[in-house]
Homo-oligomer: A and B are copies of this chain.
Amino acid sequence: MNNYSAKVAIVGVTGYAGRELDRILGAQSHIRVCGRFASTADPVAGIDSFSPDALRRCGPDIVVLAIEHDLSLEAVPLLLAEGYRVLDMSGAYRLKNPDLYPQWYGFTHTSPELLETAVYGLPEFFSKEIAGARLVANPGCYATAAILPLLPVYRADAIAPDSSVVVDGKSGVSGAGRKPRLDTHFCEVSENIRAYGVLQHRHTPEMVSWLPGSTFDRFVFTPHLIPINRGILSTIVIRHRDRAVVSAILADTYAGSEYVKVFLNSAPSVQDVVRTNFCHIGVTSRGDTTVLVSAIDNLVKGAAGQAAQNLNLMIGRS
């Protein structure tokens, strides 16, 4: 007897995000994970490699792709053509403008028509669109940590004209994926911190695209790798038009939010939110400057937890 309301297949279940999603869905009785597949690019002993036939045997309502963006780029149109709904956790379908892909991702987008219909999976703002979507693009971890505090501010036009918004992101190492690289070797990461992708990181166009009124010239994002497993802390400096507006708009926007909490004159830490789906936002002002500090677990609110929110919206649960 089935007491679940949806079947989900996860492709890329051996990576950190896919594994975390599998774990999260395991605690949700109304969703059944009917298939767990390794990426075709990364076969793992004991895990089936993804194939159309294997997917058909499982018969999912929704296929979640927790794989590299170049694989998602190709897989999404095939899966949609087979009639599956798709939740893509990569960056391949997050941007509306296909022209941004060559510069920031290094490839020409092969399905620009899908970019138009893809829904950006930010449940706090696009829950209706997500509910009806055939293709949902799950937001990036850094993007989530920046857009949640900034989107209400931009929408309220609360940023001083011609001023730059500066986002300084610090991420745990699981954000770099599970594939062994010298970059993620313990000895290279421990007792170290470094900035990377300075002025070139792929989450920059995602932030600028989804923050109305932002521009590449006045939006500066710098990611950093720090020696923790999980978590992102982003420190965001803006010049506000009116400090009262910024704190009020954030407090109001998230007053009833299940997962986003706002703290005035306080700054959250990663330990406050790790292993939860929460995003904590601290707001501090002086003069015409406001500092927003946001904290999420990059694998939960920044990936699998947000994916679980989206899956629930897609099957009609809030």
Contacts and interface: CB of A to CB of B under 8 A. Distances in A.
Interface in A199-257: 199, 216-217, 220, 222, 224, 226-231, 233, 235, 237, 239
B170 A227 contact: no
Nearest to A174: B187
A305 to B, nearest CB: 16
A206 B23 CA distance: 37
Interface in A274-312: 274-275, 282, 284-289, 291, 293
A195 B237 contact: no
A229 B287 CA distance: 34
A41 to B, nearest CB: 16
A56 interface: no
A233 B194 contact: yes
A282 B186 CA distance: 24
A267 interface: yes
A98 to B, nearest CB: 21
Contacts of A269: 192-194
- How many copies altogether? 4
A182 B181 CA distance: 9
Contact of A199 (B173, B271, B285): B285
19 contacts: A164-B166, A164-B289, A170-B170, A170-B193, A173-B185, A180-B185, A184-B186, A186-B229, A191-B271, A192-B228, A193-B228, A193-B270, A194-B269, A194-B271, A195-B267, A198-B267, A198-B293, A199-B284, A217-B287
Interface of A: 16, 163-164, 166, 168, 170, 172-174, 178, 180-182, 184-196, 198-199, 216-217, 220, 222, 224, 226-231, 233, 235, 237, 239, 267-271, 274-275, 282, 284-289, 291, 293
